[in-house]
Amino acid sequence: MRLDDIQESANVEDRRGDSGSGGMLGGGFPGGRGSLGFGTIAILTLIGWALGINPAILIGGAEIISGGSGGQVVQRQQNTPPRSSSPQEEQLRVFVARVLKTNEDVWQQVLPQQRGVPFKPAPLVIFRGATRSACGGAQSAMGPFYCPADTRIYLDMSFFEEMRTKMRAGGDFAYAYVIAHEMGHHIENLLGILPRVQQAQQRLSRREANQLSVRVELMADCLAGVWAHHANQRWRILEQGDLEEAMNAAAAIGDDKLQKQSQGYVVPDSFTHGSSEQRVRWLQQGLRTGQVAACDTFNTRAL
Protein backbone atom coordinates (compact mmCIF):
# COMPACT_ATOMS: atom_id res chain seq x y z
CA MET A 1 0.00 0.00 0.00
CA ARG A 2 1.53 3.31 -1.12
CA LEU A 3 1.06 6.15 1.36
CA ASP A 4 4.45 7.89 1.28
CA ASP A 5 3.06 11.05 -0.31
CA ILE A 6 0.01 11.26 1.97
CA GLN A 7 -0.07 13.80 4.78
CA GLU A 8 -1.00 12.77 8.32
CA SER A 9 -4.45 13.65 9.58
CA ALA A 10 -4.64 16.32 12.25
CA ASN A 11 -7.55 14.44 13.85
CA VAL A 12 -5.60 11.70 15.62
CA GLU A 13 -5.97 11.96 19.39
CA ASP A 14 -3.09 10.16 21.06
CA ARG A 15 -4.05 8.91 24.52
CA ARG A 16 -1.22 6.44 24.91
CA GLY A 17 0.20 8.66 27.66
CA ASP A 18 -2.99 8.74 29.73
CA SER A 19 -2.53 7.31 33.19
CA GLY A 20 -5.98 5.75 32.85
CA SER A 21 -4.98 3.81 29.79
CA GLY A 22 -2.77 1.43 31.70
CA GLY A 23 -4.67 0.97 34.94
CA MET A 24 -8.17 0.48 36.25
CA LEU A 25 -10.88 2.78 34.99
CA GLY A 26 -13.91 4.07 36.82
CA GLY A 27 -16.06 1.35 35.30
CA GLY A 28 -13.78 -1.40 36.54
CA PHE A 29 -12.23 -2.24 33.19
CA PRO A 30 -8.80 -3.83 33.47
CA GLY A 31 -6.23 -1.82 31.62
CA GLY A 32 -4.15 -4.63 30.19
CA ARG A 33 -5.08 -7.07 27.46
CA GLY A 34 -5.22 -9.88 30.01
CA SER A 35 -6.99 -13.05 29.01
CA LEU A 36 -9.28 -11.36 26.52
CA GLY A 37 -6.84 -10.28 23.87
CA PHE A 38 -8.30 -9.95 20.40
CA GLY A 39 -7.43 -13.39 19.33
CA THR A 40 -10.48 -13.42 21.32
CA ILE A 41 -12.36 -12.41 18.52
CA ALA A 42 -12.86 -16.11 18.98
CA ILE A 43 -13.60 -15.75 22.70
CA LEU A 44 -15.69 -12.64 22.18
CA THR A 45 -17.52 -14.58 19.54
CA LEU A 46 -18.45 -17.18 22.12
CA ILE A 47 -19.65 -14.55 24.57
CA GLY A 48 -21.03 -11.97 22.25
CA TRP A 49 -20.87 -12.32 18.51
CA ALA A 50 -22.36 -15.78 18.44
CA LEU A 51 -24.88 -15.14 21.18
CA GLY A 52 -25.77 -11.52 20.38
CA ILE A 53 -24.91 -10.30 23.89
CA ASN A 54 -24.26 -6.58 24.39
CA PRO A 55 -23.26 -5.52 20.89
CA ALA A 56 -21.82 -2.33 22.39
CA ILE A 57 -18.58 -4.16 23.18
CA LEU A 58 -17.97 -6.15 20.03
CA ILE A 59 -15.40 -5.66 17.35
CA GLY A 60 -16.08 -3.97 14.08
CA GLY A 61 -18.89 -1.70 15.11
CA ALA A 62 -21.95 -3.54 16.39
CA GLU A 63 -21.31 -1.34 19.39
CA ILE A 64 -22.62 1.58 17.40
CA ILE A 65 -26.23 0.54 17.97
CA SER A 66 -26.02 1.07 21.74
CA GLY A 67 -25.85 4.84 21.48
CA GLY A 68 -24.16 6.13 24.63
CA SER A 69 -23.96 4.82 28.14
CA GLY A 70 -23.09 8.03 29.87
CA GLY A 71 -19.39 7.26 30.15
CA GLN A 72 -17.06 10.19 30.35
CA VAL A 73 -14.36 10.73 27.78
CA VAL A 74 -10.85 10.88 29.19
CA GLN A 75 -9.30 14.11 28.03
CA ARG A 76 -5.58 13.76 27.55
CA GLN A 77 -3.61 16.43 29.36
CA GLN A 78 -1.94 18.84 27.02
CA ASN A 79 1.78 18.38 26.48
CA THR A 80 1.68 14.93 28.07
CA PRO A 81 3.91 12.80 25.84
CA PRO A 82 2.87 9.24 25.09
CA ARG A 83 4.77 6.53 26.84
CA SER A 84 7.86 5.42 25.00
CA SER A 85 6.93 3.76 21.76
CA SER A 86 9.02 1.51 19.60
CA PRO A 87 10.00 2.48 16.06
CA GLN A 88 7.49 -0.09 14.82
CA GLU A 89 4.70 1.48 16.86
CA GLU A 90 5.62 4.94 15.59
CA GLN A 91 5.45 3.64 12.03
CA LEU A 92 1.99 2.27 12.77
CA ARG A 93 0.91 5.62 14.21
CA VAL A 94 2.02 7.40 11.03
CA PHE A 95 0.28 4.73 8.94
CA VAL A 96 -2.98 5.16 10.87
CA ALA A 97 -2.81 8.96 10.55
CA ARG A 98 -2.26 8.72 6.79
CA VAL A 99 -5.05 6.22 6.26
CA LEU A 100 -7.36 8.47 8.25
CA LYS A 101 -6.34 11.43 6.09
CA THR A 102 -7.25 9.58 2.89
CA ASN A 103 -10.63 8.72 4.39
CA GLU A 104 -11.23 12.35 5.30
CA ASP A 105 -10.24 13.62 1.87
CA VAL A 106 -12.34 11.03 0.04
CA TRP A 107 -15.48 11.57 2.09
CA GLN A 108 -15.07 15.33 2.08
CA GLN A 109 -15.65 15.08 -1.66
CA VAL A 110 -17.82 11.99 -2.11
CA LEU A 111 -20.44 12.50 0.61
CA PRO A 112 -21.62 15.96 -0.57
CA GLN A 113 -21.41 14.96 -4.23
CA GLN A 114 -23.31 11.69 -3.94
CA ARG A 115 -25.63 12.28 -0.99
CA GLY A 116 -25.78 16.07 -0.53
CA VAL A 117 -24.55 15.70 3.07
CA PRO A 118 -21.55 17.64 4.41
CA PHE A 119 -18.72 15.59 5.84
CA LYS A 120 -17.56 16.17 9.40
CA PRO A 121 -14.34 14.47 10.52
CA ALA A 122 -14.39 11.67 13.08
CA PRO A 123 -11.33 11.98 15.33
CA LEU A 124 -9.44 8.73 15.79
CA VAL A 125 -8.34 7.98 19.36
CA ILE A 126 -5.21 5.87 19.79
CA PHE A 127 -4.95 4.33 23.25
CA ARG A 128 -3.15 1.59 25.12
CA GLY A 129 -5.05 -1.04 27.05
CA ALA A 130 -8.11 0.97 28.03
CA THR A 131 -9.67 4.40 27.95
CA ARG A 132 -13.12 5.94 28.17
CA SER A 133 -15.53 6.92 25.43
CA ALA A 134 -18.94 8.56 25.51
CA CYS A 135 -20.27 5.05 24.85
CA GLY A 136 -18.60 3.72 28.01
CA GLY A 137 -15.30 2.02 28.70
CA ALA A 138 -13.05 1.11 25.80
CA GLN A 139 -10.72 -1.87 26.04
CA SER A 140 -8.23 -3.26 23.60
CA ALA A 141 -10.11 -6.58 23.79
CA MET A 142 -13.09 -4.95 22.08
CA GLY A 143 -11.15 -4.25 18.93
CA PRO A 144 -11.58 -0.96 17.06
CA PHE A 145 -15.00 0.65 17.34
CA TYR A 146 -16.93 3.80 16.49
CA CYS A 147 -18.86 5.67 19.17
CA PRO A 148 -21.70 7.78 17.73
CA ALA A 149 -22.17 9.66 21.00
CA ASP A 150 -18.82 11.44 20.64
CA THR A 151 -18.30 10.66 16.90
CA ARG A 152 -14.88 9.15 17.51
CA ILE A 153 -13.11 6.01 16.34
CA TYR A 154 -11.19 4.12 19.05
CA LEU A 155 -8.16 1.99 18.27
CA ASP A 156 -5.51 0.17 20.27
CA MET A 157 -2.88 -0.45 17.60
CA SER A 158 -1.90 -3.79 19.15
CA PHE A 159 -5.07 -5.02 17.44
CA PHE A 160 -3.16 -5.17 14.16
CA GLU A 161 -0.70 -7.65 15.63
CA GLU A 162 -3.62 -9.75 16.82
CA MET A 163 -5.00 -9.72 13.28
CA ARG A 164 -1.69 -10.86 11.88
CA THR A 165 -0.82 -13.57 14.38
CA LYS A 166 -4.13 -14.94 15.62
CA MET A 167 -6.49 -14.35 12.72
CA ARG A 168 -3.96 -14.67 9.92
CA ALA A 169 -5.43 -11.54 8.39
CA GLY A 170 -2.44 -9.20 8.39
CA GLY A 171 -1.18 -6.70 5.85
CA ASP A 172 -1.28 -2.93 5.59
CA PHE A 173 -4.37 -2.80 3.39
CA ALA A 174 -6.17 -5.20 5.74
CA TYR A 175 -5.44 -2.77 8.58
CA ALA A 176 -6.59 0.15 6.43
CA TYR A 177 -9.83 -1.70 5.72
CA VAL A 178 -10.51 -1.91 9.46
CA ILE A 179 -10.11 1.85 9.85
CA ALA A 180 -12.23 2.52 6.76
CA HIS A 181 -14.95 0.19 8.10
CA GLU A 182 -15.18 2.23 11.30
CA MET A 183 -15.25 5.43 9.23
CA GLY A 184 -18.09 3.75 7.35
CA HIS A 185 -20.07 3.73 10.59
CA HIS A 186 -19.40 7.45 10.94
CA ILE A 187 -20.77 7.98 7.43
CA GLU A 188 -23.85 5.98 8.42
CA ASN A 189 -24.21 8.25 11.42
CA LEU A 190 -23.92 11.39 9.29
CA LEU A 191 -26.61 9.96 6.99
CA GLY A 192 -28.91 9.48 9.97
CA ILE A 193 -28.96 5.70 9.66
CA LEU A 194 -27.57 4.78 13.07
CA PRO A 195 -30.15 6.67 15.15
CA ARG A 196 -32.97 5.14 13.13
CA VAL A 197 -31.55 1.65 13.57
CA GLN A 198 -31.17 2.15 17.31
CA GLN A 199 -34.78 3.29 17.63
CA ALA A 200 -36.05 0.39 15.53
CA GLN A 201 -34.10 -2.20 17.50
CA GLN A 202 -35.77 -1.17 20.74
CA ARG A 203 -39.07 -2.41 19.31
CA LEU A 204 -37.79 -5.64 17.77
CA SER A 205 -37.02 -9.15 18.92
CA ARG A 206 -33.38 -10.18 19.43
CA ARG A 207 -33.40 -12.02 16.10
CA GLU A 208 -34.81 -9.04 14.21
CA ALA A 209 -32.44 -6.63 15.98
CA ASN A 210 -29.51 -8.85 14.97
CA GLN A 211 -30.66 -8.75 11.37
CA LEU A 212 -30.61 -4.95 11.43
CA SER A 213 -27.13 -5.04 12.95
CA VAL A 214 -25.94 -7.23 10.07
CA ARG A 215 -27.23 -4.67 7.58
CA VAL A 216 -25.40 -1.88 9.43
CA GLU A 217 -22.15 -3.85 9.37
CA LEU A 218 -22.37 -4.90 5.73
CA MET A 219 -23.08 -1.32 4.72
CA ALA A 220 -19.94 -0.23 6.58
CA ASP A 221 -17.97 -2.89 4.70
CA CYS A 222 -19.33 -1.55 1.43
CA LEU A 223 -18.51 2.04 2.38
CA ALA A 224 -14.95 0.92 3.16
CA GLY A 225 -14.87 -0.32 -0.41
CA VAL A 226 -16.15 3.05 -1.67
CA TRP A 227 -13.26 4.72 0.16
CA ALA A 228 -10.74 2.33 -1.40
CA HIS A 229 -12.20 2.89 -4.88
CA HIS A 230 -11.79 6.65 -4.73
CA ALA A 231 -8.53 6.63 -2.78
CA ASN A 232 -6.94 4.42 -5.40
CA GLN A 233 -8.25 6.60 -8.23
CA ARG A 234 -6.81 9.69 -6.57
CA TRP A 235 -3.50 8.45 -5.13
CA ARG A 236 -2.91 5.00 -6.66
CA ILE A 237 -2.50 3.54 -3.19
CA LEU A 238 -3.04 -0.11 -4.12
CA GLU A 239 -0.18 -2.50 -4.74
CA GLN A 240 -0.18 -6.13 -5.76
CA GLY A 241 -1.76 -8.29 -3.10
CA ASP A 242 -3.54 -5.44 -1.30
CA LEU A 243 -7.04 -6.40 -2.38
CA GLU A 244 -6.42 -10.00 -1.36
CA GLU A 245 -5.39 -8.77 2.11
CA ALA A 246 -8.64 -6.86 2.55
CA MET A 247 -10.77 -9.75 1.31
CA ASN A 248 -8.96 -12.14 3.62
CA ALA A 249 -9.60 -9.82 6.58
CA ALA A 250 -13.29 -9.46 5.70
CA ALA A 251 -13.64 -13.24 5.41
CA ALA A 252 -11.76 -13.85 8.67
CA ILE A 253 -14.30 -11.90 10.71
CA GLY A 254 -17.47 -13.36 9.22
CA ASP A 255 -19.90 -14.53 11.90
CA ASP A 256 -20.13 -18.02 10.43
CA LYS A 257 -16.38 -18.55 10.44
CA LEU A 258 -15.97 -17.16 13.95
CA GLN A 259 -18.82 -19.22 15.35
CA LYS A 260 -17.50 -22.38 13.71
CA GLN A 261 -14.07 -21.77 15.21
CA SER A 262 -15.31 -20.93 18.69
CA GLN A 263 -18.19 -23.36 19.21
CA GLY A 264 -18.06 -25.81 16.34
CA TYR A 265 -21.42 -24.88 14.80
CA VAL A 266 -23.19 -21.90 13.25
CA VAL A 267 -26.33 -20.10 14.46
CA PRO A 268 -27.40 -17.72 11.67
CA ASP A 269 -30.10 -16.03 13.79
CA SER A 270 -27.38 -14.81 16.15
CA PHE A 271 -25.30 -13.17 13.40
CA THR A 272 -24.58 -9.49 14.08
CA HIS A 273 -22.00 -8.75 11.37
CA GLY A 274 -22.74 -11.08 8.46
CA SER A 275 -21.18 -14.19 7.02
CA SER A 276 -17.71 -14.27 5.49
CA GLU A 277 -19.22 -14.46 2.02
CA GLN A 278 -21.48 -11.46 2.69
CA ARG A 279 -18.70 -9.31 4.12
CA VAL A 280 -16.41 -10.00 1.18
CA ARG A 281 -19.19 -9.43 -1.35
CA TRP A 282 -20.29 -6.07 0.06
CA LEU A 283 -16.69 -4.87 0.33
CA GLN A 284 -16.26 -5.80 -3.32
CA GLN A 285 -19.49 -3.96 -4.17
CA GLY A 286 -18.10 -0.70 -2.84
CA LEU A 287 -14.72 -1.28 -4.46
CA ARG A 288 -16.28 -1.95 -7.84
CA THR A 289 -18.82 0.88 -7.93
CA GLY A 290 -17.46 3.67 -5.75
CA GLN A 291 -21.09 4.62 -5.11
CA VAL A 292 -22.73 5.15 -1.73
CA ALA A 293 -26.09 4.26 -3.29
CA ALA A 294 -24.71 0.81 -4.12
CA CYS A 295 -24.24 0.20 -0.39
CA ASP A 296 -27.92 0.38 0.56
CA THR A 297 -28.21 -2.87 2.48
CA PHE A 298 -31.51 -1.79 4.05
CA ASN A 299 -33.50 -1.92 0.83
CA THR A 300 -32.02 -5.20 -0.34
CA ARG A 301 -34.05 -8.30 0.41
CA ALA A 302 -31.23 -10.79 -0.12
CA LEU A 303 -28.00 -9.83 1.61
Q: Are 146 and 177 in contact (CB under 8 A)?
A: no
Pairing mode, if any, of strands 152-155 and 124-126?
parallel
Of residues 103 and 60, more confidence is placed in: 103
Poorest-confidence range of 65-74, 105-114, 115-124, 151-160?
Answer: 65-74
Q: Give the H or E element holding residue 289.
A: helix 276-289
pLDDT in tens, 178-235: 999 999 999 999 999 999 999 998 999 988 998 899 999 999 999 999 999 999 999 9
What value does the mean pLDDT take over residues 35-63? 35
Percent of the chain with pLDDT over 90: 52
Of residues 299 and 35, more confidence is placed in: 299
**The predicted structure's pLDDT at residue 84:** 62
Model confidence, pTM:
0.80
**The predicted structure's pLDDT at residue 68:** 41
Rounded CA separation 298/61 (Å) = 17
DSSP string, 139-169: EGGG-SEEETTTTEEEE-THHHHHHHHHSS-
**The predicted structure's pLDDT at residue 256:** 66
Of residues 137 and 151, more confidence is placed in: 151
Q: Are 140 and 160 in contact (CB under 8 A)?
A: no
Bridge partner list, 139? 130
Of residues 78 and 292, more confidence is placed in: 292
**The predicted structure's pLDDT at residue 96:** 97
